[in-house]
Structure 1
Amino acid sequence: MATETPVRPRPDREEGPGRPAARVRRDLFGVGLWLPATVAVLICGFAWTAVAEDQPYLLPLLPEVGGVLVGDPLLFLSNAWSTLQIALLGVGFGAGTAFVLALVMSEAPVVRRAIMPLAVVLNVTPVVALAPALVVAFGFGMAPKVIVTAIITFFPVLINMTTGLRSVPSPVLHVFSTLHASRLEVLLRLRVPSSLPYALAALRVVFPLSIVGAVVAEFVAAGSSSGLGTMIRTSAATARLEYVYAAIACLAAMGVLMLALITVLERRLLFWHESQQ
């Protein structure tokens, strides 16, 4: 019987202690990371320039948008800060209320059956229709805009937190039961840590969404005198497209920054979770 010659692994396929780190460095600094995004940005830039030169009343030239941003940065910074205040306050109230309700609903199924239908109705109600009534009830200040933003960011956090608090493995619950743990101990030591990935996933959605909520509130709530949403509305009414798209660029940068901060927080808090391995 003929004997088979064992096949030795090729050197480039061998695994070693330094291989994963080298692969990470190669992926981090290699062209595969930044080349596709760079090509996509260049294509979008060329397409934008072509449309702007052919249809100047549809899109402004990119140098005009950049010139507006560079020429008066304080104008955009002050309006961006006004919008960011509304976004942060709204997501704070909306996510905080959703978190407290999710904790109560996880311990009291009767409350969950009573609150969840109301939350669904609130979620499907067009928030634009609520804004005029909120202005009548709370005046022309920041309160109606914060409430609009809170309503927009409330439901995703409520659903994710409710799912996370209820997604505890049964064997782990049995272990806590054999240790005679109280309901408060099960909630604080088991359910809340288990729901942390769900909560942070919801925050990755609602923090950039709060920027959208703040802009919508500035669009529809009367009495807005500052904010990027107000700037977009007034600039569009006077056909100053370079200011419109400069404000949109600021909003996009704010959303990307908020998403990056939540991503960093998620990596710090969930270093133990399998999603971060």
Structure 2
Amino acid sequence: MTPRRRPSALHPRVWLPSVVALLAAGLLWARVARGNPYVLPPLGAVGAQLVGEPLLYLANAWTTLSEALLGLALGALAAVAVAVAVSESVLLRRAVMPLAVVLNVTPVVAIAPALIVAFGFGILPKVLVAALTTFFPVLMNTVTGLRSVPRGVLQVFRTVHASRWDVLLRLRFPSALPFVFAALRVVFPLSLVGAIVAEFSAAGATAGLGTLIKVAAGNSQLDRVFASIACLALMGVLLLAAVTAVERRVLSWHASQTR
């Protein structure tokens, strides 16, 4: 049976539901803001903030994005390296995985102040917080993917005396790629959360959308707060779109991309 092709991005079935949902959310926002201006600012005021001070939001967005992407790269690379190690050693898996679980269940908002005290108010603690936020999902998905190789296929590789490196590179890694990309779809936007938490916790921070939100909230500038949130939301959507596009190209051979 011929697999169904994905509909074009220009097809109404692709974009129309999102447009309708956004319009409905906008109408609901306008209605709430009209009666509760101290809860939600009017959308026009938020738009005026973005249009009136674009350089302010671009500069702070770039700071937060840089922290998030550096943290994501550090966390994801460390997670893949640990996943490969624990997938090759049962003893190491039993030793490392409980520690990873403890790290995951510890609220990052509790760790961020300690990292800032330890490493100062520069970019390093913010990168580390973003890395911690992204580490565990990538680790768990990669371990699952590396261990999801069908036993029969693995037996074929063993019968031809394939080395451990060949099994890892030619069999386990391709099997793990869909799991890794599934994790990346989650942690790309999540890395922004880690960067924002770190900026909230850094008393001496002077840049970043988290700092901008904290200062604006202290001054009751709701329009600036929500303008910063809108920038974060847009960045999250763009990061998710980017990783999805890469996934479709890299995994064009996989069944998940033909449904």
TM-score bracket relative to the smaller structure: over 0.9
State the one-letter code of the partner of 1:73: P
Structure 2 residue 137 is the aligned partner of structure 1 residue 156? yes
SS of residue paired to 1:56: coil
Q: Which has the higher relative contact order, 1 or 2, with Cα contacts under 8 A spaced 6 or more apart?
A: 2
Q: Is the 8 A contact 2:112 2:197 kept in 1?
A: no
Match of 1:109 in 2: 90
CA RMSD of aligned residues (A): 1.7
State the one-letter code of the partner of 1:146: V
What CA distance in whole angstroms lies between the structure 2 residues aligned with 1:220 and 1:247? 17
Q: Is the 8 A contact 2:108 2:132 kept in 1?
A: yes
SS of residue paired to 1:198: helix
Match of 1:29 in 2: 11
Identity %: 61
Match of 1:165 in 2: 146
Structure 1 segment 118-197 matched on structure 2, within 5 A: 118-197=99-178
How many residues end up aligned between the 2 structures?
256
Match of 2:204 in 1: 223
Q: Is the 8 A contact 2:199 2:208 kept in 1?
A: yes
TM-score normalised by length of structure 1:
0.88
Unaligned runs of 5+ in 2: none
Structure 1 segment 70-109 matched on structure 2, within 5 A: 70-109=51-90
Displacement over 4 Å in runs of 4+: none
TM-score normalised by length of structure 2:
0.94
SS of residue paired to 2:40: coil
Q: Is the 8 A contact 1:144 1:221 kept in 2?
A: no
Match of 1:265 among 243, 246, 249: 246
Structure 1 segment 241-256 matched on structure 2, within 5 A: 241-256=222-237
Q: CA deviation at 1:24?
A: 4.1
Structure 1 segment 44-55 matched on structure 2, within 5 A: 44-55=25-36
Q: Alpha-carbon deviations, 1:22-51, whole Å to 9, x = none?
A: x946x9434x44443333222222221122
- Structure 1 pair 45/152, CA: closer, same or farther in 2 (3 Å)? same
Compare CA radii of gyration and give the structure with the larger one.
Answer: 1
Unaligned runs of 5+ in 1: 1-16
State the one-letter code of the partner of 2:134: T
